Amino acid sequence: MTVKHSIVSIFRIREHSNRTKQSARNADNSVSSGPDVILLRSGTYQEPNVTATSWTHVPGSLEDIDVGTDIVVGLNSLYAPFYRKNITRENPTGTSWVQLDGHFKYLTATPHGAIWGLDEDYSLSCLLLILIWFRDGISLDNPGGTGWQKVDGRFHQISAGPSGVWTVDFNEIYYREGTYGGNITMGSGWTKVDGNLRYVASGSDVVVAVNGWKQLLRRTGISETNPTGDQWVPMDGKLYMIDEYGGTMWGVMIVQQIFTSPTN
């Protein structure tokens, strides 16, 4: 996402802040979060290619979510981070939300449960800075970790998935060295990747992306030995956001309609 044993496609929608984000990736369930409402796509635990037919309400009030292996992370309307504990096949909705410290603009989880976040800060000159953080101390016994560690770099969007951690900053794309496979590691530096994009999503040996004209692209040739891949290949259609996991892509249009398609 190999210890990963659960698979998922998810999307998420944040309406209060006029941002729509989606992710079809990672681990356990398909989950949707609109303003204050959280839904689980029934029958999608460990089934990345199943679209299913119904939603199950999950208690809680979040505006943005992402999914890892047996963990769901999310942000509420005040940008406070939470994770859902005790998610299993027998109980795919888990038992309760646990709040983590800090406040974030984006929160993302890898297949192995590593948590990354972006937050906003202002410098002494009042310039907006986007800071990146990695959650330390995550383990099977402690999925919420112990604290946040600041990572070098400032980016406007982040995706942590099977193909590693990818970010976008002013349409430039970067890959975090050493993060391929979604393991719980902070990596060792940023490598610039060619292209001019506004959104990227780390999928299964592929990175899918959207440029400024809502055109869809995918990065081919990604592997453990070549984690940044070879080239961007255009795909049919136009979407606002896109994501991929396990051979299935999910997308959200500007009008917030949801679509799914095989990757190949």
**Which CATH number covers residue 251?**
2.40.10
**Is 114 found in the same domain as 217?**
no
> Whose structure tokens read 């299964």?
204
pLDDT category at 1 given cuts 50, 70, 90 is very low
pLDDT category at 122 given cuts 50, 70, 90 is low
**Is 213 found in the same domain as 145?**
no
**Is 229 found in the same domain as 149?**
no
Digit-coded pLDDT (tens) for 52-100: 667 788 888 888 888 877 889 999 989 999 999 999 888 888 999 999 9
The answer to the question of residue 108 being in a domain is yes
Please count the other Cβ atoms lying within 10 Å of the Cβ belonging to residue 107.
28
**Is 60 found in the same domain as 128?**
yes
The answer to the question of residue 186 being in a domain is no
Enumerate residues 6+ apart whose C-beta is below 8 A from 91.
Answer: none
Q: Which two tokens stand for residue 53?
A: 């037919």
**Is 173 found in the same domain as 136?**
no
How many residues are there in the chain? Answer: 264
Mean pLDDT calculated for residue range 3-20 = 37
- Is the pLDDT at 31 greater than 90? The verdict is no
Strand ranges (DSSP E) for 29-178? 30-33, 38-41, 55-58, 64-68, 71-75, 81-85, 96-99, 106-109, 115-122, 128-136, 147-151, 157-161, 164-169, 172-176
pLDDT of residue 17: 38
**Is 127 found in the same domain as 242?**
no
pLDDT of residue 10: 41
**Is 174 found in the same domain as 142?**
no
Domains identified in the chain, total number: 2
Structural domain harbouring 173: 166-181+196-263
With contact defined as beta carbons under 8 Å apart, do 50 and 60 qualify? no
**Is 132 found in the same domain as 36?**
yes
Digit-coded pLDDT (tens) for 152-173: 998 889 999 999 999 998 889 9
Please count the other Cβ atoms lying within 10 Å of the Cβ belonging to residue 132.
22
**Is 142 found in the same domain as 252?**
no
pLDDT of residue 151: 96
The answer to the question of residue 20 being in a domain is no
The answer to the question of residue 25 being in a domain is no
pLDDT of residue 210: 94
The answer to the question of residue 236 being in a domain is yes
**Is 170 found in the same domain as 147?**
no
The answer to the question of residue 64 being in a domain is yes
The answer to the question of residue 89 being in a domain is yes
pLDDT of residue 57: 84
**Is 140 found in the same domain as 176?**
no
- Is the pLDDT at 8 greater than 50? The verdict is no
Identity of the amino acid at 31: V
- Is the pLDDT at 108 greater than 70? The verdict is yes
The answer to the question of residue 77 being in a domain is yes
Mean pLDDT calculated for residue range 206-228 = 95
**Is 94 found in the same domain as 37?**
yes
